[in-house]
Structure 1
Amino acid sequence: MKSKILALLGGTLLSASAMAGGYQVNLASQRQIGMGHTGTGIQTGTASIFFNPGALSSIRESGVTIGASAINSRIAYRAIEPTNSSAKADNDLGTPFQVYAAYKIDDLLTVGLGVYTPFGSGVRWGNEWNGRYSLNEIDLQAIFIQPTVSYKLGDKFGVGLGFVIATGSVNLQRVLPVENSERQEGTIELDGGAKTGFGINVGVFYQATDKLTIGLDYRSKVELEVQEGDVTFTNIPASASSNFPSGTEFSAQLPLPATLTLGLGYQVNDKLTLAADVSHVRWSAYESLRFDFSKQIRGSGFSESARNYDDAFIYRLGAEYMVNDKLAVRGGAYYDQSPVQDGYLTPETPDADSRGLSAGVGYSISDNFSLDASFLYINKKERTDQADLSGGVAGTFKSVAYIPGIGLNFKF
């Protein structure tokens, strides 16, 4: 994996500002986004590669799905009195995507391949706000590649296993205060390659009755490790250059947490399907972040800061109604707990409990080709934090996002 990571010396890991808990992105299927991103307890077609590999063996036909979303986020900051200064992040459009392909070898065995982006997004604060010594901007994307096999055990059970190969990229930037007669400001950036991370996605799907289905899915933690990255300083005066030596390298690790999801589906009648998911995200894996340097920077060979994330739950509800043989309408809602404790809020993850509302439509153009469109509105609670335990920026943060998406499905 090629990564670009900017470190805050003597401070924190700058991970990402995603519009979900922590630095997670939950935008894995346009149909399922429209249903509140439920999908573990129902048959979701090729998207079962992500939501529940055990349900993949229940698809009726082989198929390919391609989809993407456009994250339009707004993040605002207000300093604590008496300054009351404020800033708004000028964020680029985020474009998480998904590609799924599934092939039915026979009535019992199905294989598939998924490529999707479960972690990422970004934030750009600029170089004028009062938190510029903590963060100017950050971009993070993690791409998972998942070959999958699913097998049907009789008429009611399906089991599936996916092997996850993780790759991605990160870019972070911050202003660096340099003490000299002119009080000059420089910048610092870390740029390096990381080892590819690995994990699994395993699921079980059960047809309990003609109407009720139950699913359980586990996506394991993936550890991404950066080694021999290059530290780059710019605009450093000669008088201070000894504190910021050129040719410095760094290493660091970032956990992408495990998620366990229980899902239920209920077929009310031929037209209406209801779904509910509960996810437990093991954010407690993110205890601290340490950067080790090959040369001493400002007299230290490493920087480390506590994160102490808490495990968190996500609660989801969704529905799909078939208006006719071609048109489906969808709706959903969810509540996503933040893993960030008080005292640990940072401008790269100005996280808070999130409320999401979604809607979507599906339209079959032909027997083999269909379209899905979705829209998700995310509103994070306003949150004020002293950031005294994380080295972040004290103040009040508020985030919202508007996320349209479209997907194409082909069955054969």
Structure 2
Amino acid sequence: MKIKKHSVMVLPLVLSAVYANTALGAGFQLLEQNASGLGNAYAGSGVDTENASVLHFNPAAMTYLPGIHVTGGVTAIRPSFKFTDNGQSVTPFNTKGTSGGDAGGWGVVPNLAATWQLNPRWYVGLGVGVPFGLKTEYEDDWVGRFHSREFEIKTININPTIAYRVNDQWSIGAGVNWQRIDAKYKLAVPVVHPLLPFPIEGDAKVDVNGDAWGWNVGVVFQPVESTRIGLSYRSRIKHTGKGDTNIAVQGQHMVAADARATVKLPDTAILSVSHQLNPRWTLLGDVSWTGWSSIPELTIENQGLPSNALDLQFRDTWRFALGAKYKINEDWTWKVGVATDQAPIRSAEKRPTSLPDNNRRWYSTGVQYQHKNMSFDVGYTYLYLKKTPIHNLEPGRGLVSGEYKSKGHVIGMQVSASF
């Protein structure tokens, strides 16, 4: 660890800001573990066994995939976050700034999965996906630069699974998860300089990463041929992030230090239903819960410096989705879905600029083309968010007050094969 004495006063504040936003950024859960479910707004996600990617949502559902199944896809996500100042925002130096432009940008989420039937009762699978991710980037001179200039978090999750078909009605499954997290963060900070009687504006950059293990289980019940009901659960994953914080003033490096923080990414539970109404129509539904209250606060341990705690007050969230599939002919299927999705942020006072999230509605559609043992999916979702207020005041970082106009576009493609 390297610390220059004249900068010790500002470092705890910087690390607190960084890890607060890292935890909040991780609050953006990515449901896009396939593109085939996108057209249905992921309704019926744990029992809609179109391809091997279902193992992410419910490992027990693999028992409805005979032989070998392989699938891969990519989803492009374009969120938009445009801030409007209400005239009250101010930096720690009582200066103004720009509105920051559009903090959103394109992101790409890949997925890959495979299942293998070992015998009439036992199945194994492997899934690779991105369960959490976010990137926001503002103009350098925007009014909230002491809260965030740029934030990016990426994860990768590798999930080997196993399932057992108990009988014609019941199946069970389980898996383990290895997950890696990488985060980068940039923001402006007040810096105490020994040659000046007052603080000046500096720049902080943080890179942290870590990995951890979790588990998931599921069950599928099929009371009649036309109906399936699935229940699945994913455990919390406790991450300990380690990395470096670097502070510079006008491009001149001043501070480098080690930092450490622990965060429990939330557990999730999904209840899924599918019902084949007739040879052409299939109805789908989902109710899911995410335990974001696993992050009530965040404590940052700084080597050689006092610890800091931040009160986040995350709430648990619910998501409800309904969808339908219509089989046009032997080759083509049309999909449609709607969903309502809660955000874990409680209030405008707790809303961070790195994650200006709000409750959203999903409007989804898509098509699937089937040719012999291959299928091709294309899906699209429009995410609607109402205007989102923010009034975030934190000591040493200033006040960001106003509202965000936000929306999102999600486009996905999937290719699947069975053998």
The TM-score, its normalising length taken from structure 2, stands at 0.88
Q: State how far apart, in whole Å, the 1-side matches of 2:260 and 2:333 are.
A: 49
CA deviations on 1:347-404 (whole Å, 9 max, x unpaired) are 111111111111111112x312221111111112212132247977332122211111
**1:195-210 residue pairs with structure 2 within 5 A?**
196-210=211-225
8 Å contact from structure 2 (residues 34, 111) kept in 1: yes
Percent sequence identity over aligned pairs? 25
8 Å contact from structure 1 (residues 58, 158) kept in 2: no
8 Å contact from structure 1 (residues 185, 235) kept in 2: yes
Q: CA deviation at 1:91?
A: 3.4
Q: State how far apart, in whole Å, the 2-side matches of 1:30 and 1:7 are.
A: 41
Inter-CA distance 160–348: structure 2 relative to 1 (3 Å threshold): same
Question: Which stretch shifts more, 34-43 or 47-56?
Answer: 34-43
CA deviations on 1:93-151 (whole Å, 9 max, x unpaired) are 21111100111111211110000111002110121110000100111111110000011
Partner of 1:156: 169
RMSD: 2.4
Partner of 2:92: none
Partner of 2:65: 59
**1:7-406 residue pairs with structure 2 within 5 A?**
8-11=14-17, 13-15=20-22, 22-38=27-43, 39-81=45-87, 86-179=99-192, 180=196, 184-194=200-210, 196-227=211-242, 229-235=243-249, 245-246=255-256, 248-296=257-305, 301-342=306-347, 343-364=349-370, 366-388=371-393, 393-406=400-413
SS in 2 for 1:14: helix
Q: CA deviation at 1:17?
A: 7.6
Q: AA paired with 1:113?
A: L
Q: Which runs of 5+ in 2 are unaligned?
A: 1-11, 90-95
8 Å contact from structure 2 (residues 16, 300) kept in 1: no
Q: AA paired with 2:66?
A: R
8 Å contact from structure 2 (residues 388, 406) kept in 1: no
Q: State how far apart, in whole Å, the 2-side matches of 1:249 and 1:22 are.
A: 24
Question: Which stretch shifts more, 84-93 or 328-337?
Answer: 84-93
8 Å contact from structure 2 (residues 34, 75) kept in 1: no
SS in 2 for 1:230: strand
Q: CA deviation at 1:9?
A: 3.9
Q: State how far apart, in whole Å, the 1-side matches of 2:14 and 2:255 are.
A: 16
Aligned length: 393
Q: State how far apart, in whole Å, the 2-side matches of 1:404 and 1:190 are.
A: 31
SS in 2 for 1:168: strand
Q: CA deviation at 1:235?
A: 2.0
Q: Which runs of 5+ in 1 are unaligned?
A: 1-5
8 Å contact from structure 1 (residues 161, 202) kept in 2: yes
Q: State how far apart, in whole Å, the 2-side matches of 1:190 and 1:372 are.
A: 39
SS in 2 for 1:15: helix
Q: CA deviation at 1:90?
A: 4.3
Q: CA deviation at 1:245?
A: 4.2
Q: AA paired with 2:227?
A: L
8 Å contact from structure 1 (residues 42, 214) kept in 2: no
8 Å contact from structure 1 (residues 29, 47) kept in 2: yes
8 Å contact from structure 1 (residues 74, 88) kept in 2: no
The TM-score, its normalising length taken from structure 1, stands at 0.89
SS in 1 for 2:146: coil
